[in-house]
């Protein structure tokens, strides 16, 4: 199974073609945000304020990297559990967010909002932060610098490996993949 090369931001045409289970290599610009940055962005929207960057068409990577050593672009940088961002995600999707990279389940509300807004959810391999760091070519803090590893960073990535978990039609690879290998009925 070969991985499909994807350029970020992802074109609308490509987004609609991606199917749950597809392996991809992401290249281009993505943004980091996790718990604390999501909370702040959500509160900004509730207060009628602008987001710190234009998220229309963009992809957010749920990551809080380790500090970079002097010779590194970024420290280890694998995905964190996406479900903690679920509460804040539909509001961001409504603002035009098109891609999310993390690991783990999404809530029914997020999946509905993804279908409505035509967005895609990718998983990277949790616990492979040293390997993933190799595909990150530049990093720049663009907002909420006081949050340290939780600040919003702009990343340039090249051949960042991921799998489409939920596509824009709401198909969920965690369900499909598991069913293929289940040897007994659900517990």
Partner 1 sequence: MQVRTIQYKEIVDQVASMCQEANFELGQDVVAAFQSALKTETSATGKDILEQLILNADIAKSERVPMCQDTGVSVFIVEVGQDCHIQGGSVYDAINEGVKKGYEEGYLRHSIVDHPITREKSKGYNTPSIIHIEMIPGDELVIHMSAKGGGSENMSALKMLKPSDGLEGIKSFILDTVAKAGPNACPPLVVGVGIGGNFERCAYLAKKSLFRHIGHRSELPEIAALENELMEKINQLGIGPQGMGGNTTALDVKIEIEPCHIAALPVAVNLNCHASRHKELRI
Other C-beta atoms closer than 10 Å to the C-beta of 174 total 14
Other C-beta atoms closer than 10 Å to the C-beta of 140 total 9
Interatomic CA distance for residues 135 and 72, integer angstroms: 12
Four-residue CA torsion sign, 137, 138, 143, 147: positive
Interatomic CA distance for residues 56 and 79, integer angstroms: 22
Question: Cβ-count burial of 177 within 10 angstroms (0-12 exposed, 13-18 middle, 19+ buried)?
Answer: middle
Query: According to the binding rule CB under 8 A, does residue 38 interact with partner 1?
Result: no
Query: According to the binding rule CB under 8 A, does residue 46 interact with partner 1?
Result: no
Query: According to the binding rule CB under 8 A, does residue 44 interact with partner 1?
Result: no
Cβ proximity to partner 1: between 20 and 143 the closer is: 20
Query: According to the binding rule CB under 8 A, does residue 176 interact with partner 1?
Result: yes
Cβ proximity to partner 1: between 28 and 83 the closer is: 83
103-162 residues in contact with partner 1 (CB under 8 A) are 103-105, 123, 125-131, 133-134, 148-149, 161
Among this protein's residues, is 38 annotated catalytic? Answer: yes
Active site residues: 38
Binding residues for partner 1 (CB under 8 A): 1, 21, 23, 36, 63-69, 72, 75-78, 80-81, 83, 103-105, 123, 125-131, 133-134, 148-149, 161, 163, 165, 173-174, 176-184, 186-187
């Amino acid at each position: 199974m070969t991985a499909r090369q994807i350029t970020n931001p992802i074109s609308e045409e490509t987004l609609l073609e991606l199917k749950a289970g597809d392996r991809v290599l992401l290249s281009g610009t993505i943004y980091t945000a996790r718990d604390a940055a999501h909370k702040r962005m959500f509160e900004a929207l509730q207060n009628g304020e602008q987001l710190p960057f234009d998220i229309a068409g963009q992809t957010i990577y749920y990551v809080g990297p380790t500090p970079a050593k002097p010779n590194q672009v970024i420290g280890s940088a694998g995905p964190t559990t996406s479900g903690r961002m679920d509460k804040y995600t539909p509001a961001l999707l409504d603002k035009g967010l098109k891609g999310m990279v993390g690991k783990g389940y999404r809530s029914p509300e997020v999946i509905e909002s993804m279908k409505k807004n035509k967005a895609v959810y990718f998983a990277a391999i949790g616990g492979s932060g040293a390997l993933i760091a190799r595909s990150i070519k530049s990093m720049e803090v663009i907002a909420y610098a006081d949050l340290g590893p939780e600040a919003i960073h702009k990343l340039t990535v090249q051949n960042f490996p991921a799998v489409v978990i939920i596509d824009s039609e709401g198909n969920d690879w965690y369900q499909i993949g598991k069913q293929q290998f289940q040897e007994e009925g659900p517990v």
